[in-house]
Homo-oligomer: A and B are copies of this chain.
Amino acid sequence: MRFSQLFAPTLRETPAEAEVVSHQLMLRAGLIRKATGGIYSYLPLALRVLKKIEKIVREEMDAKGGQELAMPILQPAEMWQETGRWSVYGEEMFRLQDRHDRKFCLGPTHEEMITTLVRGDIRSYRQLPLMLYQIQNKYRDEIRPRFGLMRGREFIMKDLYSFDRDEAGLDESYNKMYDAYLRVFTRCGLTFRAVEADSGAIGGSGSHEFMVIAESGEAGIVYCEKCDYAANDEKAELHPICLPREEQLPLDEKTTPGMKTIVKLCQFLSITPEKTIKTLAYRTDTGTLVLALVRGDHEVNEIKLLNKVGCIQLDMANEEAITHALGSQAGYIGPVGLDDNENIIIVADATVMNMSNAVCGANKPDTHYINVNPGRDFKPSLVTDLRLIKENDPCPHCGAPVKTARGIEVGQVFKLFTKYSAALQATFIDIDSKEKPMVMGCYGIGVSRTMAAAIEQNYDQNGIIWPAPIAPYHVVVIPVSSKDEQQMALAEKIYTELNANGIEAILDDRNERPGVKFKDADLIGYPIKITIGPKAINENLIEIKIRRTGEVLYFSQAEYLSNVKELLIKL
């Protein structure tokens, strides 16, 4: 490809709307353009990257026996009503009606569709196992689409579904996919971790997420360097901390004007956060108030709370709801005196129950209780593991202090068991002549998200640094002066030679100043830049610059090609 012919409109300025690096760089490098919030066009360079990721995904899915098909994006409501997800999905689902007023959605996922498809054609255990997948647009009406492709409303997913006779078969399919995912992200040239995950609203249990490590990642990851434990911090389990029992002192009130944070409160009372109980108020989707209690130096794991309360959605309660229910404001709320209130659910982290003579809000303005003894002064509705893991907490497997990192979720594998096959009557006749529901798994990769995550992990102040396996082109060839015939001729020759040898090269043949061409090359982020200037003409020295390291190498015309090939394997 010649740059002069390529539709890759680069921008000098960073568009104000772009909050994250991948979004900024994809706009600037002419990879994407916004159609409307959360909906983008992929321009030719981005499409090349996406196709490379898709090719890797396809090859690895096929290698495990996956078969590609393509299901509709436009899905009739009926099958979603059968599983109950038509109502569960709420406003995140794009819905529409056709001219005959029949209801449809734009598929956010395809469990209902594939299960309905398979139930019509699979009758016998002899037809199992089966792995079917597709790569296509998915839709989610995010309330605040942002971060470019990281949280869009229209995005590209690979979704594979496995169908097995029994759980042993599911385990096998799951392990195959887990293995395939390791290979996919390794082949994409990304640094990532597979972590234990919460299986969330999609149902079932048993799940891993594949996280591209990046500081900008939305997800917290904990991992242990002593054993092989790694988990989404939302999922990581923690044992309660054993605390020495103190003699229980009588409950008392303290006036604490303006002491609405744990930090201020501790300063005021000259205590450490370990002596305080933090109370957070939430509201479930049905409007019930939930008070979550953790020790003052701990954080609430909202996913654990959601799962334990057993509701679909959980939001922080607003001041109005708190004042209405408790007669006080956030900062002064607490669990004491609410044991008989049937409208409030109190969930305590198990560590809280080991505390003695603690401090918590008194549900009165400017007032805290001191000498609070859980069990004596209040009885939670539920005691459980509610704590969010943090750096140096003990590894749930081996007890060694854990490390933390930030990650971008690019893939997830789930065991669905019979959740959908039972709901949709996708059964088969087993070898024992009994009719059984198929045992299912589902396995997703965010293809467009992987592209964005690759950038979040690989960039510098000058632009993108593509890992070679998913770079839009491997090499850019830049003649320093487009008016120098010798330079142009040599650049042309090298460009042709590279492409003839299976190296994807682009020739920057634009009539632009060298600075513009170099800047665009760095911005777009080709792994290798070959500069054809006077040195190349006069000294037979081809300049090769490695985008990632900045290293500059010189080779003769006879030698550059084999060296480029070798370099690309490592980049």
Contact = CB atoms under 8 A, between A and B. Distances in A.
Interface in A120-153: 120-122, 130, 132, 137, 139, 141, 143, 153
Contacts of A74: 39, 94, 106, 139, 153-154
Contact of A113 (B35, B70, B76, B98): B35
Interface in A17-68: 30, 33, 35-36, 39-44, 46-47, 50, 65, 67-68
A517 to B, nearest CB: 16
Nearest to A40: B72
Nearest to A163: B7
A33 B70 CA distance: 11
A99 B43 CA distance: 27
B40 A69 contact: no
A387 B226 CA distance: 85
Interface string A152-163: 011000000000
B41 A68 contact: no
A5 B154 contact: no
A43 B132 CA distance: 9
A72 B41 contact: yes
A6 interface: yes
A9 interface: yes
A68 B47 contact: yes
A523 B262 CA distance: 74
A249 interface: no
B153 A35 contact: no
A344 interface: no
B44 A67 contact: yes
A95 B94 contact: no
A568 interface: no
A96 B96 contact: yes
Contacts of A143: 99
A429 interface: no
Given A7-B132, A96-B95, A154 B44 contact: no
A73 B117 CA distance: 24
A214 to B, nearest CB: 24
Given A9-B120, A35-B72, A41-B70, 17 more contacts: A7-B67, A9-B122, A36-B76, A39-B72, A39-B74, A41-B71, A41-B72, A41-B113, A42-B70, A44-B68, A46-B69, A50-B70, A74-B94, A74-B153, A96-B96, A96-B106, A98-B153
13 contacts: A5-B67, A7-B67, A7-B69, A7-B132, A33-B120, A36-B102, A39-B72, A44-B67, A47-B69, A50-B70, A72-B154, A73-B73, A94-B98
